Structure 1
Amino acid sequence: MTSLFAAISHRSRDLSTEYVWIEAAAPDAPLLVFLHEGLGSVAMWRDFPAQLCAATGCRGLVYSRPAYGRSTPKSPDEHWGPDFLEIQALEVLPALFAAVGVDLQRERVILFGHSDGASIALIHAAHFGTQLAGIIVLAPHIMVEPISITSIERARVTYQTTNFRDKLARFHDDVDSAFRGWNDVWLDQRFKVWSIESLLPQINCPVLAIQGLDDEYGTMAQIDGIAAAAPKVELLKLESCGHSPHRDQPERVTAAIVSWLAKLQPSIKS
């Protein structure tokens, strides 16, 4: 996949946003929009988006949020607040859609989010759900749990004391921008009370929520909370699976998505 770059303006700052298209055989196929994790990027998805699009018949849009991948890095003096996920969901993502020509009123769009990207998908769906065909969320966060903070604290130590920084640098032009943006805000004392639980009843589009039983960043309370609050939720809980179900159990995840999509759109191949 060859990266393209969209110019978006956000809060008086011009940002270059990396993205790639994955074409489908049918020009009117649904569009899967991939929202990456807190340390993710276009490249960190590897070949999963292409494989999922091939299995489902969907088109794909994969992008790196500002501060990640080849997108504009975070400036050294920029500090994200506890509303950073809401800003991405309600300001940056719509700006990207406008820049690359995605029209939620005319296209069947399904958001596919992992971890922080899954939270962004949930927030976006709570406000724009009537315009979405559905959302798929892997290891989402709807509130902050102690297990999340413990793992993120451990990640900071690993970043500072091992070659993890060098490995991560392969996927980001400014690796410190990517890591510090995510790590600093999650360990900010103000973020410990962050929650989107009150938004969940507003999500009226279909939701497929997937989580590993060995997730080191969250418990089943995350997806159980979605099922308890939103009206159209299907859950998949995977054994022998950590925080990245699409890496740990790609066949199970793909099969579940193909089945779920077939219920929404019978013309999608199964």
Structure 2
Amino acid sequence: MQVDDHRVRHPLGELFARSWTPPGPAAGAPIVLLHDSLGCVELWRDFPPALAQATGRRVVAYDRLGFGRSQARTDRLAPDFIAEEARRFFPVVLERLGIEGFVAFGHSVGGGMAVNCAAEWSGRCEALVTESAQAFVEDRTVQGLRAARRDFQQPGQLERLARYHGDQAAWVLEAWLGTWLSPAFAGWSLAEALPRVRCPVLALHGADDEYGSARHPEAIGRLAAGPTRIELLPQTGHVPHRERPAEVLGRVAGWLAAAAADS
């Protein structure tokens, strides 16, 4: 497995990216991972190389601006930051890493970003995988966020986040909780983007996800223009790729192989 680190120059700040390339000819377009609200490349842990091995595809992950090893930022996220990622940052990552066609794979808020990437770049997106993606702001989502805010008030919690985000940890936390709990964000949804998603879609969701019910993958399946497969994983919370890695890898690899054969 070849592992390469990349620095992606962007007008708003430099981004950090890493790619995993399995040996032999590629089995299809690269998979680009979009992380969750507190995530970064390092917090994907051993999932990216395992995904590359399981699918035979190059896998790329990058830290969004302000996260992980990417350049710091101090501004507040705009209410349209999920769609903005697809318009302003994602295409620069593709260009700098020489990626034409791609598979978008996003976890949590990264799933919403992956939906927007598939919609914005529909001619280049060959498949879309969402994992625990929110399609709108649900009461269950808000309850989970309020519980997380209480948890992060406990001693040592911010320091744990700083292991991955350094001095940006407090900004990262506020970018998540402050944005999602803001009244200006309450009406956000993927309703405008999903009808523009024409590629095959796999929507993975834990039945016990503390940040969103099965209404989210159901909305993705109902609104996406492309053929959609919904996989509701029993006894699974918000991070299926960590809770059930072998099952997630098997389902994604099998589905991608079948989608490629049908195309």
Shorter-chain TM-score above 0.5: yes
- Tell me the SS of whatever aligns to 1:90: helix
- Tell me the SS of whatever aligns to 1:236: strand
Aligned to 1:256: 251
TM-score normalised by L of structure 2: 0.93
Render the CA deviation track for 1:35-72: whole Å, top value 9, x for unaligned. 10010000000001111111111111111101110111
* Offset of residue 259 of structure 1: 1.1
The letter for the 1-side match of 2:131 is: L
Q: Distance in 1 between matches of 2:97 and 2:119?
A: 22
Q: Distance in 1 between matches of 2:115 and 2:133?
A: 8
* Offset of residue 266 of structure 1: 4.3
The letter for the 2-side match of 1:263 is: A
The letter for the 2-side match of 1:233 is: T
The letter for the 1-side match of 2:121 is: F
8 Å CA contact retained: 2:104, 2:117? no
* Offset of residue 130 of structure 1: 2.5
Q: What is the root-mean-square deviation in Å for CA atoms of aligned residues?
A: 1.6
8 Å CA contact retained: 2:4, 2:20? no
- Tell me the SS of whatever aligns to 2:9: strand
Match for residue 210 of structure 1 among 194, 200, 204: 204
Match for residue 169 of structure 1 among 142, 162, 171: 162
Structure 1 portions without partners, runs of 5+: none
Q: Distance in 2 between matches of 1:62 and 1:221?
A: 28
Q: Does 2:176 match 1:188?
A: no
Aligned to 1:17: 15
The letter for the 2-side match of 1:153 is: R
8 Å CA contact retained: 1:67, 1:181? no
Q: Distance in 2 between matches of 1:133 and 1:69?
A: 28
The letter for the 1-side match of 2:107 is: H
Structure 2 portions without partners, runs of 5+: none
- Tell me the SS of whatever aligns to 2:186: helix
Q: Distance in 2 between matches of 1:228 and 1:197?
A: 10
Number of matched pairs: 257
Q: Distance in 2 between matches of 1:8 and 1:135?
A: 25
The letter for the 2-side match of 1:262 is: A
- Tell me the SS of whatever aligns to 1:134: strand
* Offset of residue 17 of structure 1: 0.5
- Tell me the SS of whatever aligns to 1:98: helix
Render the CA deviation track for 1:116-169: whole Å, top value 9, x for unaligned. 110001011122222111011101111100111111122122222232211111
Q: Distance in 2 between matches of 1:4 and 1:92?
A: 15
Aligned to 1:142: 135
The letter for the 2-side match of 1:87 is: E
Render the CA deviation track for 1:208-230: whole Å, top value 9, x for unaligned. 00000000000100000111122
Identity across the alignment (%): 30
Q: Does 2:193 match 1:199?
A: yes
- Tell me the SS of whatever aligns to 2:250: helix
Q: Distance in 2 between matches of 1:182 and 1:246?
A: 21
The letter for the 1-side match of 2:146 is: E
Superposed counterparts of 1:5-154, under 5 Å: 5-9=7-11, 13=12, 15-29=13-27, 30-75=29-74, 78-104=75-101, 109-154=102-147
The letter for the 1-side match of 2:24 is: A
TM-score normalised by L of structure 1: 0.91
* Offset of residue 2 of structure 1: 5.8
8 Å CA contact retained: 1:19, 1:42? yes
Q: Distance in 2 between matches of 1:206 and 1:112?
A: 12
Q: Distance in 1 between matches of 2:52 and 2:46?
A: 10
